[in-house]
Amino acid sequence: MNRAALRERLPVLITAAVCVAMYVAVGLRFDKFFSLRVFFNLFSDNAFLGVIAIGTTFVILTGGIDLSIGSMMGCASIMAASLMQNGHWPAFAALSAALAFGALVGWCQGALVAFFRLPSFLITLAGLFFCRGVALRISQESVQIDNPLFNSLAGFQIQLPGRASITATSIVLFVVLIVCMFVARQTRFGRTIYAIGGSMASAELMGLKVRRTLIGAYTLSGLCAALGGAVFTLYTSSGDAISGTGLELDAIACVVIGGTLLSGGYGSVFGTLLGVLILGIVESAITFQGTLSSWWTKIVIGALLLMFMVVQKLIERAAARSR
C-alpha cells in the first residue's frame, strides 16, 4: 500500500481501532457484554440511525450537509403509520409512499443546491422545518400500527445461539450498507461524488456530470432518511412525528467519527457504520452501568468528535506538506 492510499484509509483505520478498543474495554468491564445477543442488538437498536447516516455520507462526501434527515425520518414514520392505520393502505404501499416522499424532497433540495448554487446548510435547514411541519400536520400524536403484514415484518427474526437474533431492521441495515459501499466505490456515480468533494471546479473541467451527481446525492440522502423512518416504525411498531428530533446531529457525528472529512472528498460508507457502532457501544455501556445519565452518551460522542476533527486536520496538513 503506497503512502497516499494509507493516508486515505488512515481515518477509518483509526475509527476501527477505537471501535474495537471500546468494545473490548466495555466487555471486560461488564459481564455478558461479549454475548451474541448484545452484539447483534448493537445493529438492531441503531439500524435506523445507521441507514440515515449512510445516506448522508454521500452528501458530506460532496462537501455539503443535510440537516433535514432527522425531520424526514419523523415525517416518513408518521406518514407510513397514518396511511396504514388510518388510511387502511397496504403495508408496502404505505412504506413506498413514504420512501417516494423522502426521495422527492431530497431531489428538490439537490436541485436547488446544484442549479442555483445555494448553500446546502440553508436549503436543508428549510427542509428540516418543512418535513417537521408536514409530519405534525399529519398527526401530533404517535400512531400505533395494527397491520398483519407489517406486524409480521416487524416480528421477523433469524434465531441464533444464545437467544441472539438477526431482526428485520438489522437486515435492512446490512443491505443498505452493502449496496451503498458498492455504489460509492464501484460506480461512476460514486467516483464522481469523491471528485466533487475533492474539487467541484476540477470535476466540472473534467467533464463530469456535477449537477446530476449532486442531485443524486441529496436524493439518496432523502431516500435513506425516509427508509430510516420506515425502519423506526418496524422497530417501534408505531409512527411518531417528533421522532428523529436532533438525529441529524448524531448522524453527522457518526459520519465524521467514521473518518469522512466535512470538507468532502475523503471517507467511506463502512467507516460511517463504525461510527454508528461506537455510539451504540457507548449507549450500551451506560445501560449496563445503570447509574449514569443518558447525557453521558452526548458527552463521550462530543469528545470523540473533537478528537477525530483534530486527527482529520493533522492528516490534511500532512497531505499538504507531502505535495
pLDDT at 292: 72
Q: What is the pTM of this model?
A: 0.95
Torsion sign, CA atoms 281, 282, 288, 294: negative
Residue with cell 455539503: 64
b (16+ CB within 10 A) / e for 238-262:
bbbbebbeebbebbbbbbbbbbbbe
pLDDT in tens, 154-175: 999 999 987 889 999 999 999 9
CB-CB contact of 279 with 49 (8 Å): yes
pLDDT at 300: 86
Domains and CATH numbers, the chain: 3-322 (1.10.3470)
Q: Can you give the three-state secondary structure of the chain, one letter per residue?
A: CCHHHHHHHHHHHHHHHHHHHHHHHHHHHCCCCCCHHHHHHHHHHCHHHHHHHHHHHHHHHCCCCCCCHHHHHHHHHHHHHHHHHCCCCCHHHHHHHHHHHHHHHHHHHHHHHHHHCCCHHHHHHHHHHHHHHHHHHHCCCCEECCCHHHHHHHCCEEEECCCEEEEHHHHHHHHHHHHHHHHHHHCHHHHHHHHHHHCHHHHHHCCCCHHHHHHHHHHHHHHHHHHHHHHHHHHHCEECCCCCCCHHHHHHHHHHHCCCCCCCCCCCHHHHHHHHHHHHHHHHHHHHHCCCCCHHHHHHHHHHHHHHHHHHHHHHHHHHHHC
> In which element (H, E) is residue 19 found?
helix 3-29
Segment 191-216 mean pLDDT = 95
Closest CA to 309 of 268, 272, 273, 257: 257
pLDDT at 319: 63
Given a cut of 60, whether residue 1 has pLDDT beyond it is no
pLDDT in tens, 126-160: 999 999 999 999 999 999 999 999 999 999 999 99
Alpha-carbon distance of 59 to 67, in angstroms, equals: 11
Given a cut of 80, whether residue 14 has pLDDT beyond it is yes
Strand segments (E) across 252-296: none
pLDDT in tens, 238-254: 999 999 999 999 999 99
In total, the chain counts a number of residues equal to: 323
Alpha-carbon distance of 323 to 318, in angstroms, equals: 9
- Reported as a pLDDT band with limits 50, 70 and 90, residue 315 is confident
Share of the chain above pLDDT 90, in %: 79
Amino acid at 201: A
